[in-house]
Amino acid sequence: MPVEETLTVAVRVKPGASRARVGGRFDGPHGPALVVAVNAPPVDGRATEAARRALAAALGVRPAAVSLRAGTASRDKLFDVERATDEVADALRRLRDGSDA
């Protein structure tokens, strides 16, 4: 059974994108970040919520397992993923870095 722990994920949100997508790398203030493009505008937290849900779907976890840790009013955010397994960490690496390393 894999060890489950909280995984902190740095995310660069691109609000108002024509196409929602999760993948790619952005070297931001929190280190290497996963790029999350969302259709929602950066108004009233709508882009943050869309990014939270997109991140959960991309990592294969329930949306309730993903919470915002920092970056409420910034494109550079930190999300915590509760009870993350090795498979979740591997999925993050593939999405962010484009590799199976």
pLDDT band at 99 (very low <50, low <70, confident <90, very high): low
What CA–CA distances, in Å, run from 44 to 12, 65, 79, 94? 18, 22, 18, 31
pTM of the shown model: 0.92
The three-point CA angle 67-69-75 to 5° equals 100
User: Is the pLDDT confidence value at 3 over 90?
Assistant: no
Q: State percent of the chain over pLDDT 70.
A: 94
Provide mean pLDDT across the span 60-65. Answer: 97
User: Is the pLDDT confidence value at 101 over 50?
Assistant: no
Q: Which residue segments constitute the domains of the chain, with CATH numbers given? A: 5-97 (3.30.1200.10)
Q: Which of 97, 87, 98, 99 is nearest to 33 (CA)?
A: 97
Indicate the average pLDDT of the chain.
93
pLDDT band at 48 (very low <50, low <70, confident <90, very high): very high
